[in-house]
Amino acid sequence: MLPTMDECCAVIRVAEQQRRVFRIVLWINVTMFLVEAVAGILSYSTALLADSVDMLGDAIVYGFSLYVVGRGAMWQARAAALKGIIMAVFGLGVLAQVIVKVVQGLVPSANVMGAIGVLALAANVFCLLLLWRHRGDDINMRSAWVCSRNDVIGNAGVLLAAVGVTLTGSAWPDIAIGLLVAGVFCRSAILVLREVRYEFRF
């Protein structure tokens, strides 16, 4: 049965709304990646650096998600799979950064962590709210919403790490939170990839 004119218009309208949302969250993530990467390097913060890498990964997948809007289920599955893979790579990257920090004995700057953490949290809460209403549209939007939710968790972790570093004067709270956030991302990666395999039999 062919779709009616109203159904076609509804599909086009939803696709345009999705594109608009993806453009906004893409540029927010690019900006915050640059801010957090510089701050993480200058302050020796695992949590900030981990969050910046996640921002970069999100920017990449949001760009790809924008490309596949309205292109069909297979392209949406590929976008979701890419998100899952990037989340998994991110987790491994954090582990490597933790090893370097332990070996070098670097203590991060709690003040920089706190200030940048608040800014990143505000940016990601805004992205999460934009994606919230579209999370049920399809697997492309659903996996994007999972990425954004993880960002908010990561930002909250950065703030907790900043408090821990302030109270203890040690790098271990930052390391512990970084590892915990990486674990959340790895778990989300597994769930997203499983959903892709289940729905599209990859």
Claim: this prediction has a pTM higher than 0.75: no
Exposed (0-12), middle (13-18) or buried (19+): which is 89, by Cβ within 10 Å?
Answer: middle
Domain at 5-200, CATH class: mainly alpha
Mean of pLDDT over the chain: 76
Residue 94 tokens read as: 């954090």
The more confident residue out of 73 and 41 is 41
Other C-beta atoms lying within 10 Å of the C-beta of residue 16 = 12
Give the percent of the chain with pLDDT over 70. Answer: 80
Taking 3-state DSSP, the helix, strand and coil percentages for the chain, each rounded to the nearest 5, stand at: 85, 0, 15
Dump pLDDT digits (tens) for 93-142: 777 777 777 777 767 778 888 888 899 899 989 988 888 877 776 676 77
Residue 8 pLDDT greater than 60, yes or no:
no
Which sign does the torsion angle of CA 142, 147, 150, 151 carry?
A: negative
Q: What DSSP letter does each residue of 27-51 carry, written as one string?
A: HHHHHHHHHHHHHHHHHT-HHHHHH
Dump pLDDT digits (tens) for 151-185: 788 788 888 888 888 888 888 888 887 777 777 77
